[in-house]
Amino acid sequence: MEKGLLYLVPVDFTPVSISSTKFAAQLSKENDQVLLVHVVKSEEDRIAAEFKLTNFAKSHLTDFANYSTRVIKGAVSTDIAVIAETLNASMIVLGTHGASGLRKLFGSYAFKIVENSKIPLIIVQEEVVYNSIKKIVMTIDLQKESLQIVKSAARLSQMFGAEIILVGARQEDPIFKRKIDLNLTVAGNFLDDHKIPYSIEFVEGKGFEENIFQLCQDKNADMLAATYYESSFHVFTDSFVRGLANNNLGIPVLTLESENTSFGGQYSFL
């Protein structure tokens, strides 16, 4: 039997944990597994947490059998990423509380989960409505690191038969235009090599975030994908992904921290 994917879902027992848990189950295909993880601060809390997590899973995964639960002692900010990597998880599925965004998930630790993870993350909003993933809008910017998310989006595309829409900001400066054209070409070549259908769209750089949302609406997109930049030296910092995650369309966001996979040479990760 072919081994499926493993979706790891951090659970803090809030409504967003219900959303992310159900979303992971709905994403799953035959042979895929969902692992629910809760983090406790001390061993004294373990038994109660294991009981609560077991009941949580039974309550919210009534039509899904391929799941397991695990309680770990540690720090949410670092150990979620560690266990995901140790278990070779395919994706981490995180929930957000709408307008307050990622910072509301496990307090201020959510960004640390993203920053510490070498595993791609799917961020879903509270009460998200699952739609079959047929179109993924993916942002490509001036940095070569923006291509980091291409492989993850391509994998989802292959799983669901989805089209990828590459989006860049229109550039007047010839140097910037060459940079983004190069990145779009590299991404397009990778998708061509893997026989993944894609198209390229440009939107105005002013109000880029809102323009992306409008494009998503026009194209009936089912998922957004963007590289997460922790560094403030990049044009798109963590606030960009936070803004995408809080979109009013309720579209899930696929992201990966830019610095957690090294580039041997330019674009060598592709």
Spell out the per-residue pLDDT of the chain, length 270, in tens: 467 899 999 999 988 899 999 999 999 988 899 999 999 999 999 999 999 999 999 999 999 999 999 999 998 878 999 999 999 999 999 887 654 444 444 444 566 777 788 899 998 888 777 888 999 999 988 677 777 789 889 989 998 999 999 999 898 889 889 988 998 999 999 999 999 999 999 999 899 999 999 999 999 999 999 888 765 444 455 577 778 888 889 899 998 877 654 333 333 444
pLDDT at position 268, please? 41
pLDDT score for 2 = 62
**Was domain 135-257 assigned CATH 3.40.50.720?**
no
Please give the pLDDT value at position 233. Answer: 43
| pTM, full prediction | 0.87
HEC letters along the chain: CCCCCEEEEECCCCHHHHHHHHHHHHHCCCCCEEEEEEEECCHHHHHHHHHHHHHHHHHHCCCCCCEEEEEEECCHHHHHHHHHHHCCCCEEEEEECHHHHHHHCCCCCHHHHHHHCCCCEEEEECCCCCCCCCEEEEECCCCHHHHHHHHHHHHHHHHHCCEEEEEEECCCCHHHHHHHHHHHHHHHHHHHHCCCCEEEEEECCCCHHHHHHHHHHHHCCCEEEEEECCCCCCCCCHHHHHHHHCCCCCCCEEEEECCCCCCCCCCCCC
Q: Where are the domains of the chain?
A: 6-125, 135-257
pLDDT at 269: 41
Same fold? 6-125, 135-257: yes
User: What integer pLDDT is reported at residue 257 of this predicted model?
Assistant: 79
**How much is the pLDDT for 242?**
77
Structure confidence at residue 8 (pLDDT): 97
Class of domain 6-125: alpha beta
What pLDDT sits at residue 21?
95
